[in-house]
């Protein structure tokens, strides 16, 4: 009978730069022996392989540098990290070692920026690109940042009134402003135009009536973000082209405009072998932008990106043990994991996101088709297809050996969407989290970032550990209400 390793080798060119198998038939992830990690920390276990973050940032910078050189592009490139992909301090500390800038999306992001500044991780020259539909506290926090002298804090206007707050409250004498332009959604989407940003036809008026008259404010950037990501599709190119024509049109009435932000959406690998040609894609973006600018006799803009998934996605993985197998009918075999997809990999359940899924051990065992089941009582808590296949295979479990599996490239969004540290479906605790790094000699180091969530933490959130305050009347004074009722009777 064929072994699991034979199956993988006939499906992919294996080993890859990232995945391999050692002499004991155990998986290596970036040359990290995962069975050793499991022996030390147990499962379920979230891991973050930190060196990957720097690799991706540097890779992106090289892609843009190569493309700009190829086309003799006369603008520059700025890499921003979109904090919402993973707000953890160890992620930002690692990313900021690579001379990057930041993009924010909520009020609470700003204290995070201030903390990084106090720790000397960023300076007042760091670009802080502030996106999102802003609530009063977010507007206030952005204004404070600008007033404290963060000269490159750039609010990206998401609606027509946002600017009013800055006009009234900013005391700095120079403020960079950006405008997010609402793109059309993909033809298959349920809406025609994105709710995010300002529609094309309102951009000129917003600039002429509200930004231009106040000489402290400079419109420096137009921003666009394609929800479905950077993809070589007719839709992506037509939206980019439309956006660039708008940039050229605006540049004629607003000479200080000199930058575009093309958002996030750089894809990450969802299969062991992935054929996205990053360099060709970036080349084409640069070529298109330049071509449109030349055609309109406009200097090319500086380019900003806000890659979130691309920065952190491939650094993350989650490891489980198979705790039971259940043959539910002749064809359906379930491997039960010691965690939950709904709570720990919510994108796999919510939007059908696929991840690289591989066994950690027993690669020399024969394989079988399985469904993976999570611990919650929800029948949707399962995973049974891969991005390259409708079927999912695992080594056949031998009674004497435990089986462990891993989901890879799970480093973006899963903790925040899963409500890290909160209550979870069926009170499944957040797993232990370990950081894996390399020291200056290349040796692997591990650090326990967080233990498994405790029952105490959940009971506290659920109100079992505090006394409820006495209920109070809804209106200011119950007696006043009584009086009102009495007077009605008379």
Ligand X SMILES: Cc1ncc(COP(=O)(O)O)c(C=O)c1O
Cβ closer to ligand X: 44 or 265? Answer: 265
Beta carbons of 105 and 82 less than 8 angstroms apart: yes
By CB under 6 A, residue 225 contacts ligand X: yes
d(CA 479, CA 344) in angstroms, rounded, equals 51
Residue from the set 44, 308, 395, 411 that interacts with ligand X by CB under 6 A: 308
The residue among 122 and 266 lying less far from ligand X, judged by its C-beta, is 266
Contacts of 482 (CB under 8 A, 6+ apart): none
According to CB under 6 A, which residues from 257 to 296 bind ligand X? 263-266
**Number of residues binding to ligand X, judged by CB under 6 A:** 16
Helix axes of 278-295 and 234-253: crossing angle, nearest 10 degrees: 40
Smallest distance, Å, CB 158 to ligand X? 9
Read off the DSSP letter of residue 212. T
Q: What is the nearest approach in angstroms of ligand X to the Cβ of residue 204? A: 22
Rounded to a whole number of angstroms, the minimum distance from the CB of residue 85 to ligand X is: 5
- Distance separating alpha carbons of residues 301 and 73, to the nearest angstrom: 9
Q: Which is nearer to ligand X, 359 or 418 (CB)?
A: 418
Q: Are 181 and 198 in contact (CB under 8 A)?
A: yes
Smallest separation (angstroms) from ligand X to the CB of 197: 9
Q: Which is nearer to ligand X, 308 or 339 (CB)?
A: 308
Q: Tell me the per-residue interface mask from 120 to 149 with ligand X, x by CB under 6 A, - otherwise.
A: -----------x------------------
Residue sitting closest to ligand X (CB):
264
Query: Is 411 a residue that touches ligand X (CB under 6 A)?
Result: no
Question: Whose Cβ is closer to ligand X: residue 162's or residue 338's?
Answer: 162
Among the candidate windows 186-194, 302-310, 351-359, 463-471, which touches ligand X by CB under 6 A? 302-310
- Minimal distance, residue 229 CB to ligand X, in Å: 6
Closest CB to ligand X among 166 and 225?
225
List, in sequence order, every residue forming a beta bridge with 464; answer none if it has no partner: none
Nearest distance in Å: CB 41, ligand X: 28
- Of 347 and 364, which CB lies nearer to ligand X in the complex structure? 347
| CA dist 327 → 331, 371, 378, 384 (Å) | 8, 10, 18, 15
Cβ neighbours around 376 below 10 Å, total = 19
CA–CA distance from 225 to each of 57, 264, 307 (Å)? 19, 7, 11
Establish if 306 lies at the interface with ligand X (CB under 6 A).
yes
- Nearest distance from residue 77's CB to ligand X, in Å? 16
Q: Which of 27, 68, 82, 203 touches ligand X (CB under 6 A)? A: 82
Judged by CB under 6 A, the stretch of 25-33, 239-247, 303-311, 327-335 that binds ligand X is 303-311
Write the CB contacts of 390 (distance below 8 Å, at least 6 apart in sequence).
none
Closest approach of ligand X to the CB of residue 82, in Å = 4
Query: Are β-strands 432-438 and 367-369 bridged in parallel, bridged antiparallel, or unpaired?
Result: unpaired
Max CA-CA distance within the chain? 94
- Contact of 83 with 101, CB cutoff 8 Å: no
Residues 88-107 that bind ligand X (CB under 6 A): 103
Q: Give the per-residue SS3 of 92-140.
A: HHHHHHHCCEEEECCCCHHHHHHHHHHCCCCCCCCCEEECCCCCHHHHH
- Angstrom distance (rounded) from CA 467 to CA 470: 9
Distance CA(36)–CA(39), nearest Å, equals 5
Residue 245 neighbours by CB under 8 Å, 6+ apart: 292, 296
Residue 265 or 431: which CB sits closer to ligand X?
265
Stretch that binds ligand X, among 232-240, 300-308, 334-342, 480-488 (CB under 6 A): 300-308
Query: Do 38 and 446 touch, CB atoms closer than 8 A?
Result: no
Of 245, 240, 281, 275, residue with least CA distance to 261: 240
162: contact with ligand X by CB under 6 A: no
Please select the residue that binds ligand X; options are 141, 154, 309, 340, rule is CB under 6 A. Answer: 309
Tell me the window of 24-32, 110-118, 308-316, 396-404 that interacts with ligand X (CB under 6 A).
Answer: 308-316
Distance CA 257, CA 387 (A): 42
Q: Quick one: which of 41, 88, 310, 349 contacts ligand X (CB under 6 A)?
A: 310
Q: Specify the residue, 26 or 309, whose C-beta has the smaller distance to ligand X.
A: 309
Q: Which residues make up the interface to ligand X (CB under 6 A)? A: 82, 85, 103, 131, 225, 229, 263-266, 306-310, 412
């Amino acid at each position: 009978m064929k072994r699991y390793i034979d199956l993988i080798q006939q499906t992919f060119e294996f080993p890859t730069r990232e995945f391999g198998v050692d002499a004991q038939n155990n998986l290596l992830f970036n040359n990290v022996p995962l069975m050793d990690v499991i022996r030390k920390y147990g499962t379920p276990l979230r891991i973050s392989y930190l060196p990957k973050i720097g690799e991706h940032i540097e890779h992106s910078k090289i892609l843009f540098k190569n493309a700009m050189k190829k086309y003799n592009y006369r603008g520059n490139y700025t890499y921003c990290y979109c904090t919402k992909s993973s707000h953890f301090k160890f992620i930002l500390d690692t990313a900021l070692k690579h001379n990057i800038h930041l993009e924010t999306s909520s009020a609470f992001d700003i204290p995070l920026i201030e903390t990084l500044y106090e720790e000397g991780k960023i300076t007042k020259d760091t670009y802080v690109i502030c996106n999102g539909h802003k609530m009063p506290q977010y507007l206030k926090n952005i204004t404070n940042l600008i007033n404290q002298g963060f000269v490159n804090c750039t609010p990206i206007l998401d609606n027509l009134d946002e600017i009013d707050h800055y006009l009234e409250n900013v005391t700095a004498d120079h403020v960079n402003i950006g405008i997010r332009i609402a793109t059309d959604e993909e033809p298959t989407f349920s809406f025609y135009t994105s709710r995010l940003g300002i529609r094309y036809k309102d951009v000129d008026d917003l600039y002429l009536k509200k930004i231009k008259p106040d000489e402290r404010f400079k419109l420096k950037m137009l921003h666009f973000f394609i929800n479905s990501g950077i993809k070589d599709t007719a839709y992506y190119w037509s939206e980019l082209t439309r956006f660039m024509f708008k940039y050229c049109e605006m540049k004629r009435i607003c000479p200080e405009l000199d930058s575009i932000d093309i958002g996030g959406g750089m894809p990450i690998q969802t299969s062991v072998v992935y054929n996205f040609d990053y360099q060709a894609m970036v080349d084409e973006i640069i070529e298109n932008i330049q071509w449109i600018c030349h055609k309109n006799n406009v200097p090319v803009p500086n380019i900003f990106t806000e890659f979130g998934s691309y920065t952190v996605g491939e650094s993350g993985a989650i490891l489980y043990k198979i705790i039971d197998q259940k043959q539910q009918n002749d064809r359906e075999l379930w491997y039960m994991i010691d965690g939950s997809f709904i709570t720990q990999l919510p994108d796999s359940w919510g939007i059908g996101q696929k991840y690289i899924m591989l066994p950690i051990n027993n690669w020399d065992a024969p394989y079988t088709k399985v469904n993976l089941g999570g611990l919650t009582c929800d029948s949707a808590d399962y995973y049974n297809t891969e991005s390259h296949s409708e079927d999912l295979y695992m080594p056949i479990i031998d009674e004497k050996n435990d089986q462990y599996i891993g989901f890879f490239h799970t480093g973006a969004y899963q903790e925040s969407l899963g409500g890290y540290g909160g209550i979870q479906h069926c009170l499944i605790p957040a797993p232990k989290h370990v950081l894996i790094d390399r020291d200056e000699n290349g040796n692997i180091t591990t650090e326990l970032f967080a233990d498994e969530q405790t029952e105490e933490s959940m009971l506290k959130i659920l109100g079992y550990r505090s006394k409820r305050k006495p209920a109070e009347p809804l209106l200011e004074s119950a007696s006043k209400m009584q009086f009102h009722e009495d007077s009605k009777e008379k």
